[in-house]
Amino acid sequence: NRRIIIDTDPGLDDAVAILHALNCGRFDVLGLTTVAGNIGIDNTTRNAGRLLAAMGRSDIPVIIGAAKPLRRWGIDVVAVHGADGVQGLVLPEPAVEPLPDAVAWMAARLLAEPSGTIDILALGPLTNIAQLITSHPAAAARIGQVIAMGGAVDEPGNIGARSEFNFATDPEAADIVFRAGLDLTLVPLDVTRKVRADATWMNSLRGTTAGTIAADVIALYFGDGRQSRPLHDPCVMLLALDSSLFGIEERHLAVDLGDDGDAGALKPARAGVPPVKVAMHVNAEGALALLATGLGPSSPPAPES
Ligand code: BDR
Ligand code: CA
């Protein structure tokens, strides 16, 4: 199994991604580090603990991360995710208290394990990971892969004309992560907008605890009467499990750090900057099938050969 830390701001689509990671049987989830993003840090932390409680996995720690972006104020998306971050979704309360200091916790875990054996799946603004890079560079250098939902390459943005929420919320953090020389793969709106839940697919998930909660979450996400909704954050888990579902390209990109409405947008990098890996294409049908399988009943272990 892949050993992962999920850095997250749940968040409706974060919740689906977390449920999938916990249920699919193919990840060892070492911890959920939280960040302010879709809603404030108290609610993202509470929601992470509630999801673990609902899944009977309160053995996995929740560790409190950044309460605000490195240099900005954050962006209000209460209209999308609700005042509690999950549109009033009914869940049990966390069974245990969260731990303090996500950055120190990540550093300690990375230093305690062989280098390259822990991946970070990043579902929110990149504040915690940027702080890890700047305050614990030796630990950050031991990360296996970082797979991050964020950015819009050829697609329009969802905050500004070209800026996407996670990068627009903390552009300075995204910039630090881009330039850190990590094994980074971006999962931008160019692919996440194509992996969409409709009502039929959503209802097909009901049957397991994870699938039923995921269906309830997606139903809340339909609240505005749309026909289908994009599953942004779950695409990170899907890429970690089966990168062949995605067309990954190398692009020379930098993050716009300006002060206009498009901060966080991606722009061409200066000559000489190494490229980043970006998922630009997706087999959406295959991705939805893998997500549904991971939220479904666990398959029996394969017989030993
Ligand atoms: C990203 O923004 C958040 O609202 C979602 O959780 C996702 O991580 C999509 O732009
Ligand atoms: Ca998110």
Q: What is the pLDDT of residues 75-84, one digit of tens each?
A: 888 888 888 9
CA–CA distances in Å: residue 73 to residues 39, 106, 296 = 12, 24, 39
Residue to probe by mutation, ligand 1, list 16, 19, 38, 189, most atoms within 8 Å of CB: 38
Atom nearest to 164 CA in ligand 1: 10
**Distance (Å) from CA 148 to ligand 2 centroid:** 10
Beta strand pairing call for 184-187 and 276-282: parallel
Residue 299: what pLDDT? 61
User: Where residue 221 falls among pLDDT bands split at 50, 70, 90?
Assistant: confident
Q: What is the pLDDT of residues 13-42, one digit of tens each?
A: 999 999 999 999 999 999 999 999 999 999
pLDDT at 301: 58
38 lines ligand 1 (CB under 6 A): yes
C-alpha 115 – ligand 2 centre gap (Å): 27
Average pLDDT over residues 104-124: 98
Q: Does the pLDDT of residue 303 top 90, yes or no? A: no
Counting from 1 in the atom list of ligand 1, the atom nearest the Cα of 149 is: 8
Nearest CA to ligand 1 atom 2: 165
Model confidence, pTM: 0.96
Q: Are 4 and 28 in contact (CB under 8 A)?
A: yes
Mutating to test ligand 1, I would choose from 158, 166, 217, 237 the residue with most ligand atoms within 8 A of its C-beta, which is 166
Q: How confident is the model at residue 305, as a pLDDT? A: 56
CA distance 244 to 162: 27
232 is catalytic: yes
pLDDT above 70: residue 47? yes
Please tell me if the CB atom of residue 164 comes closer than 6 angstroms to any atom of ligand 1.
Answer: yes
Instruction: Give the amino acid at 65.
Output: G
Q: How far is the CA of 147 from the centre of ligand 2 (A)?
A: 13
The answer to whether the CB of 214 falls within 8 A of the CB of 293 is no
